[in-house]
Amino acid sequence: MSDVSMDSVSLTYVNESGAFPALENVSLTIKEGEFVSFIGPSGCGKTTLLSIIAGLLEQTSGSLHIKNKDSIGYMLQHDYLFPWLTIEQNMTLGQRIQRTHNEVSHRKALRWLERFGLSDKKSDLPKALSGGMRQRVALIRTLATDPSLILLDEPFSALDQQTKLKLEDLVSNTLKAEKKTAILVTHDISEAIAMSDRVILFSPRPGKVAQVFTIPQDIRACTPFESRQHKDFQDQFQLIWKELDRFESN
């Protein structure tokens, strides 16, 4: 059963200077519970496609089917916590916007806060938290609405390496345990391999699906941190790097 399926999705931006194709004939199927990463050269349309899936943009042509389009969570590179709201208020903001906030959903959000080791921070303002803590709150805010599909747009890129690796493990383990479908946009090949079931490589603009890499089961069975120590990880990295470098060298 698929959560997301698209057939020949294309998008062209039009302004006074002319027409600029961003995506061209993208066809993909993403299964329920699957974790997929989008990688490719800068400007190849990865985030544009994520915005189409999120409903923020509409494709110029082609079809897109999402099993439950009202159940999508979006986690961005920046946490976008409101500085004047407490952590508890920030993490339930999505519930309030969707009008699903009640005593039961609030308790669920507080349980996430406890699981992520932030219970003692619920009355703090965001400025009191580190970057990694703030991104954990952003993840809780996303999970608190109980989405079936989670979109991740470079959520770890602004973090230091140690915090990034810890957060990768936290996000991966949480989404697997909750059986969420996830799509990650990243420039980091290692991150894509460590977190994904499949890695989708896009060509330069207009973005097309150039190649699909299925990550070996032995690597997928590891946590992201552990997978980087796997004997086959470097071979997988070199395989994807070679194809990506071919685009960026042209």
Per-position DSSP letters for 145-206, written without gaps between them: T--SEEEEESTTTTS-HHHHHHHHHHHHHHHHHTT-EEEEE-S-HHHHHHH-SEEEEEPSSS
> How many Å apart are CA 39 and CA 77, to the nearest integer?
15
Q: Are strands 35-39 and 198-202 parallel, antiparallel or unpaired?
A: parallel
Domain locations in the chain as residue ranges: 2-71+149-248, 83-146
Residues 6+ apart with CB under 8 A from 244: 39, 40, 41, 189, 201
- Give the pair of three-digit tokens for residue 230: 């796997």
- Does residue 238 sit in helix, strand or coil? helix
The predicted pLDDT at position 43 comes to 87
At 105, which helix (H) or strand (E)?
A: helix 103-115
Q: What is the pLDDT along the chain (250 residues), one digit of tens a residue?
A: 558 999 999 999 888 777 889 999 999 999 999 999 999 998 899 999 999 999 999 999 999 999 887 789 998 888 899 999 999 999 999 999 888 999 999 999 999 999 888 999 999 999 999 988 998 899 999 999 989 999 999 988 878 888 889 889 999 999 999 999 999 999 999 999 999 999 999 999 899 999 999 999 999 999 999 999 999 999 999 999 999 988 766 6
Cβ-contact 134, 82 below 8 angstroms? no
> CB of 159 within 8 A of CB of 131?
yes
CATH class of 2-71+149-248: alpha beta
> How many C-beta neighbours within 10 Å does residue 86 have?
17
User: Between the CA of residue 156 and those of 31, 73, 143, 177, 190, what are the distances in Å?
Assistant: 24, 16, 17, 20, 13
For residue 157, the model assigns a pLDDT of: 84
pTM of the full predicted structure? 0.92
150: which 2 tokens?
A: 């989670």
pLDDT for the residue numbered 248: 67
User: Do residues 185 and 152 make contact, with C-beta atoms less than 8 angstroms apart?
Assistant: yes
So what's the pLDDT on residue 159? 83
